[in-house]
Structure 1
Amino acid sequence: MLRTYRQAAEMFGVSERSVGSWWRAYRGGGREALAVRRRRRPGPQELISDEERGTLFQAMADYTPEELLIGGPLWTRAAVRELIRMVCGVVMTERGVGTWLRRHGFSPQRPARRACQQCDEKVRAWLEQDYPAIAARAKTEKAVVAWADQCGLRSNTALPGRFWAPKGRTPVVRVNGKRLRVNVMSAIASRGALWFTVFTGRFTAKVFTGFLDRLARHAGRKVHVIADRHPVHRSKAVRTWLDNNADRVELHLMPGYSPELNPDELLNADLKRHVHASRARSADDLAHETRRFLRRRQRQPHIVRGYFHARHVRYTIT
């Protein structure tokens, strides 16, 4: 049955031009001319052997460029290029190094920040022993586990992110020249609950214990609060209050210099990304915008639950 180019193109879902190319190839070489041939990429095969590649990857895992005296604290294409030259005697371009790294499962990534004062042993103990014990106790007591943290919003903070504009014409946004600041104390639970208080004064033991009191009342049962080692959290006034309210609130302090282990830090980042403090006209205006955002998140428990699925805090999901 004869068909036109258009009918064949509609049948195979291609253009009429492609059908014409196929037909000419068939007339010139028959069925074999229509077979797809995979062509080997021109140029020599990879010059780095499997054994050398394993040595390179092991060196990148065990050492930093600084330790090998060939670069900075992390691996860049230039540093990998020099490592390949030293180990294998192969000279590559930086672009070629990037292609080679991608071929073997590497990708350029924004590094996570870690405090040099962080103690790995204490973090490991927290992940493997301390937190599982807290979660087990809370489950036995039918209590709530709430992750708490405090943060501040300042009007002299730049708008987050970058914005598009013609080259050479930097965009301008009007901001308040006054220095305004509000503070937030918040707590979240893995099932999507969010509690908060917004204040303009200093963060003190009175503010913290007042927040804990309201948290326990709103939760309606005992609360195991997990927070960082802020001086206020360890103050004598807070310890006294906790002793007097041991049946309502129990405070657990995380390892020092480990904010990445607290899912409430993700709420803080979310808050700072969406509340543009630099555009507030007064401290009351900034406090109002902050409360409005946090109330919106209270009505969006699925977003709060999402904080707990970030890579570094998945251990909190029990």
Structure 2
Amino acid sequence: MRSKGTAAELEARRRLAVLRVSEGWTRAEVAAFLGVHRETVGEWVRAHAAGGQKALAPKPHPGRTPFLTADQEKRVLGWLTESPTKHGFRTDLWTAKQVAELIRTKFGVAFHPNYLREWLTKRNHTPQKPARRAKQRNPEAIAAWLKQDWPRIKKRSGGRTPTSS
């Protein structure tokens, strides 16, 4: 399993281990100091002896290269804090299809909407649906009804709400 840390941090740790061993520290002391196994320190020392400083350099990232750079990912996540209408869409609800379309037009990268849903979920963006409200809803009329009519209706029912018995 790969240790936690950036490639540069892990390389610095390997170089420090080799340096400490060359200064006279035992492999067990270096391992305890760095929080690794004694045999790991031995592997680093042997690699350095065989290939020099170049042998301690980080290895290429395994697997497929990500479709978006870290900067592009930040920009995409920033878009999600804005309204979709600002980006030319008709509704105020982001969909995976809209995000995929925006990524394609801005960065030239094609994501399948199903994959994009998974990608967004891993970054703590889950599907959102707005509260359903009637188009005819009138907040002023509701407030007036609650102030004037509801107390009269409640008084007639003896203080009981419709759900109480």
TM-score by length of 1: 0.26
* More strand per residue: 1
Q: Which has the higher contact order (CA 8 A, sep 6+)?
A: 1
Please identify which structure carries the higher helix content. Answer: 2
